[in-house]
Amino acid sequence: MATEKPILAFLGVGLMGLPMTLRLLQSGYRVHVWNRSRGKLAPALERGAIESATPRDAAKSADIVMLCLLDTRAVEEVVFGPDGVAEAEGRGKVLVDHSSIRPDATRTFAERLASRSSMQWVDAPVSGGVKGAQEGTLAIMCGGHPEAVDRVRPALAAYARNITHMGPAGAGQTTKLCNQVIVGSALAVIAEAVTLAQSSGVDATRLPEAFAGGFADSMPLRIWVPRMVGGYAEAIGTANLLLKDLDTAADLARSTGTPLPMAGLARELFRALAAQGKGDDDPAALVTLYRKPRD
Amino acid sequence: MATEKPILAFLGVGLMGLPMTLRLLQSGYRVHVWNRSRGKLAPALERGAIESATPRDAAKSADIVMLCLLDTRAVEEVVFGPDGVAEAEGRGKVLVDHSSIRPDATRTFAERLASRSSMQWVDAPVSGGVKGAQEGTLAIMCGGHPEAVDRVRPALAAYARNITHMGPAGAGQTTKLCNQVIVGSALAVIAEAVTLAQSSGVDATRLPEAFAGGFADSMPLRIWVPRMVGGYAEAIGTANLLLKDLDTAADLARSTGTPLPMAGLARELFRALAAQGKGDDDPAALVTLYRKPRD
């Protein structure tokens, strides 16, 4: 018994949003797209996406509205600003926020959207990076009403292998902050392991091979050791994006009385990198903190 | 063309050494065993291992002598002490040290053994824990002459899936320290993520499921989150063993001028745990630093 596919809108077609949108198109979804800078829409439009003039227009056309934006402020603007999502009638519709934003703001936004337009909110931040988006292997941590999560699950499966419902609105964002506590700290630690290997005469490029299948193995190890040792053609994520998440985690930790010594140190190391003017660089740049310039 | 299997000796049949020895026996090797406290030999003897009275006797009987001991001092004692391995003629034989000890001591020991008894030294510390030993999926990082490593490789394959030759004697130990920089720090960070989830109303037991396939996924995550949240029947490794490796890594870092801010903090957190009298507890006990007693 085939049911008709819901019509989608995707707002924020950037580094992550573009490959996610392309996978939705490949899966046969009709996708309305909007982006602050229109230039970035081209690859999606070439593959059949339909351009919307505003977030409101996109929300009018769609059953499910996906967001993948930079930060809390951008989400508030796109949802509640002029011509925002909240200006469209939203009964029976679901907003899926793939952005990584504050859990407390998420709870407020969810209530505000429900009372303004009756649209339901699912927070659904992702882990797995651009490669995970391209290959459809993202991990998505969801917060919201269970029925809303179940409704959007088939569409999310276009780019995610693992979709976990963690609790009410905000629970996805809280889980993502726990994720970033681990990832941000892991990147800082990998930079140390690489540096220790190099300074001790061991070929650091071979660490992922040596650690494969052991306790030190991880996706960040396999992706970032080569980038830290040999450099990279382009950034996959930036130090400042990680720093933003580590700062949000620190706010949550403070408000809940949770000590985060390791993640707190990682945060200040990424801030040191930003202070050196390298915040927009790949997180792999962290290794330069421990090396002579020009090494 | 079947070649005869070398005869083995295994010295140090403890938490890791026992499952490794049992897998060698299962693979059809003749294994001479010795342990400081004889009581621990029973399970190996029941399965066909042959007891040696001293490390020297074990080394006399075997072509390859495996060690899995607690620390640098224990290795020195068993190899160079009275009735030690070095007192047996060692020409054509290889000593494989699975213990995690100092890289500088390893280089000294290797030269001393070669000049005393002509036995070759392969340092071969492991990662993957008791479970990895039982299932034969350990990662082993080797240092030593390439031909010596190749000679012992088939026997090591009884308990290892990944055997990587990293360089001359000591290179395996240096690589293991890089491994422990990552693992020790990861355990401390996982304790923070678990605590942040719990204090923020998210079910921490579900973090491994939510992170599966994403950047925060790792073997320590899957093994230690349940232990940190729900406790454990018995320790798999101890906080003090990790602390020992983090201290050795700090010594190597100091001697090579390598900053290790994250691993240095993890080290002091494990030392705080030890100061609370919990050094012999499972590393999962680290989470108690961030909780009210009796929580």
Record: contact A218-B218, CB cut-off 8 A? yes
pLDDT value for A1 = 46
Domain limit, last residue, from B169, B192, B224: B169
In terms of phi and psi (left: phi > 0; alpha: psi -120 to 50; beta: otherwise), the region of A28 is left
Report the alpha-carbon angle B188-A263-B231, nearest 5: 30
Flag if B189 and A190 touch (Cβ within 8 Å).
no
The whole-angstrom distance between B52's CA and the closest CA on chain A is 32
Contact A193 B179 (CB under 8 A): yes
- Residue A2 inside a domain? The answer is no
The β-bridge partners of B138 are: B160
Is A204 a residue whose pLDDT tops 50?
yes
Chain A residues closer than 8 Å to B249 by CB: 196
* CB–CB contact A192 B164 (8 Å): no
Q: Tell me, yes or no, whether A156 and A283 share the same domain.
A: no
Pairing of strands B126-127, B94-97: unpaired
User: Do the chains contact at A214 and B162, CB–CB below 8 Å?
Assistant: yes
Residue B159 lies in a domain: yes
Q: Is B142 helix (H, G, I), strand (E, B) or coil?
A: strand
A161 and A185 fall within a common domain: no
For A125, A189, A225, B239, the CA distances from B211, given in Å and listed in that order, are 11, 19, 21, 25
Examine the pLDDT at A3 and tell me if it is beyond 90: no
Average pLDDT over residues B101-110: 98
B75 and B164 inside one domain: yes
CB contact under 8 A, A210 and B128: no
pLDDT for A79 equals 98
The residue behind tokens 């009964």 is A91
Task: Tell which phi-psi region holds residue A274, choosing left (phi > 0), alpha (psi between -120 and 50) or beta.
Answer: alpha
A191 and A51, same structural domain?
no
Condensed to tens digits (0 to 9), the pLDDT of residues A168-185 reads 999 999 999 999 999 999
d(CA A216, CA A197): 14
Domain-embedded: residue B182: yes
The reply to whether residue B192 touches residue A103, judged by beta carbons under 8 angstroms, is no
**Cα distance between residue B199 and residue A103, in whole Å:** 13
Render the burial of A2-15: b for 16+ CB within 10 Å, e for the rest.
Answer: eeeebebbbbbbeb
By the 10 Å C-beta count (0-12 exposed, 13-18 middle, 19+ buried), A147 is classed as exposed
Going by pLDDT thresholds of 50, 70 and 90, the confidence category of residue B4 is: confident
Nearest to B195 among A164, A182, A258 (CB): A258
- Chain A residues touching residue B210 (CB < 8 angstroms): 139, 141, 162, 164, 166, 175, 179
- Chain B nearest C-alpha distance from A217 (Å): 7
Read off the pLDDT of each residue in B234-253 and give the average, rounded to a whole number. 95
Looking at the domain assignment, is residue A294 inside a domain?
no
- Domain holding B230, by residue range, is 174-289
Where does a domain end: A128, A150, A169? A169
Beta strand pairing status for B138-143 and B126-127? antiparallel
| Arithmetic mean of pLDDT, A39-47 | 97
Residue A290: which of B139, B177, B258 has the nearest Cβ?
B258
Distance from the Cα of residue A123 to its chain's centroid: 11
SS3 content of chain B, % helix, strand, coil (to 5): 55, 15, 30
Position A4 scores a pLDDT of: 86
Region B3-21: mean pLDDT is 95
The pLDDT, as a whole number, for residue B86 is: 98
Do A165 and A186 fall into the same domain?
Answer: no
Residues B64 and B193 in one domain: no
Q: In Å, how far is B271's CA from the nearest CA of chain A?
A: 14
One-letter identity of residue A80: F
From chain A, the residues in CB contact with B165 under 8 A are none
B182/A189 Cβ within 8 A: yes
Q: Is residue B241 part of a domain?
A: yes
Q: Identify whether residues A16 and A117 lie together within a single domain.
A: yes
Residue of B129, B164, B182 lying closest to A206 (CB–CB): B164
* pLDDT, mean of residues A208-226: 96
pLDDT tens column, A239-289: 999 999 999 999 999 999 999 999 999 999 999 999 999 999 999 999 999
Q: Over chain A, what is the mean pLDDT?
A: 96
User: Which of B156, B174, B211, B215 is the best residue to mutate to test the A interface, defined by the most A CB atoms within 10 Å of its own CB?
Assistant: B215
Question: What does the H/E/C string look like for chain A?
Answer: CCCCCCCEEEECCCCCHHHHHHHHHHCCCCEEEECCCHHHHHHHHHCCCEECCCHHHHHHHCCEEEECCCCHHHHHHHHHCCCCHHHCCCCCCEEEECCCCCHHHHHHHHHHHHHHHCCEEEECCEECHHHHHHHCCEEEEEECCHHHHHHHHHHHCCCEEEEEEEECCCHHHHHHHHHHHHHHHHHHHHHHHHHHHHHCCCCHHHHHHHHCCCCCCEHHHHHHHHHHHHCCCCCCCCHHHHHHHHHHHHHHHHHHCCCCHHHHHHHHHHHHHHHCCCCCCCHHHHHHHHCCCCC
- Report the catalytic residues of B: 176
Residue whose structure tokens are 């000796």: B9
**What ipTM describes this predicted complex?**
0.94
Give the distance from CA B102 to its chain's centroid.
13
| Total count of domains within chain A | 2
Note the pLDDT of residue A83.
98
**Residue A150 and residue A190 in one domain:** no
CATH number of the domain where residue B68 is located: 3.40.50.720
Q: What is the dihedral of CA A23, A25, A27, A31, to 10 degrees?
A: 110
The whole-number pLDDT of residue A2 equals 54
| Nearest-by-Cβ selection for A214 from B127, B289, B290 | B127
Rounded CA separation A112/A79 (Å): 10
Q: What is the pLDDT of residue B225?
A: 98
A201 CB neighbours in chain B (<8 A) are 167, 171, 174
Residues of A acting as catalytic residues: 176
Pick from B199, B209, B269: CB nearest A261: B269
| pLDDT given for residue B140 in this prediction | 98
Nearest chain B residue to A126 by CA: give it: B214
A28 plus A132 within the same structural domain? yes
**B154-203 pLDDT tens trace:** 999 999 999 999 999 999 999 999 999 999 999 999 999 999 999 999 99
Q: Is residue A231 part of a domain?
A: yes
The two structure tokens encoding residue B215:
């950047």
Residue A3 lies in a domain: no
Averaged pLDDT, B97-119: 97
pLDDT band at B149 (very low <50, low <70, confident <90, very high): very high
| Position B295 pLDDT exceeds 90 | no
pLDDT of B1 reads: 46
Contact yes or no for A197 and B178 at CB 8 A: yes
Same domain, A32 and A137: yes
Residues of chain B in contact with residue A220, where contact means CB-CB under 8 angstroms, are: 215
Strand A126-127 relative to strand A138-143, pairing = antiparallel
Based on the fold, state whether residues B31 and B156 are members of the same structural domain.
yes
Q: Residue ranges of the alpha helices (H) in chain B?
A: 17-26, 42-46, 55-61, 72-80, 103-117, 129-135, 146-156, 171-199, 207-211, 219-230, 239-256, 261-275
Q: At what angle do helices B171-199 and A171-199 cross, to 10 degrees?
A: 160
Mutation to test the A interface, candidates B202, B221, B290, B291, most A Cβ within 10 Å = B202
User: Which residues of B fall within a CB distance of 8 Å from A263?
Assistant: 189, 192
Taking CB atoms and an 8 Å limit, are B164 and A197 in contact across chains? no
Residue A292 confidence (pLDDT): 81
- Supply the pLDDT for residue B190: 98
- Using a CB-CB distance cutoff of 8 angstroms, which residues of chain A are in contact with residue B180? 216
For the CA atoms of B138, B144, B150, B152, the dihedral, rounded to the nearest 10 degrees, stands at -60
Same domain, A164 and A257: no
Residue B21: per-residue pLDDT: 98
Instruction: Tell me whether residue B2 is in a domain.
Output: no
Output the pLDDT for position B292. 81
Tens-digit pLDDT profile for residues A71-122: 999 999 999 999 999 999 999 999 999 999 999 999 999 999 999 999 999 9
* End-of-domain residue from the set A105, A135, A169: A169
**d(C-alpha B4, C-alpha B7), whole Å:** 9
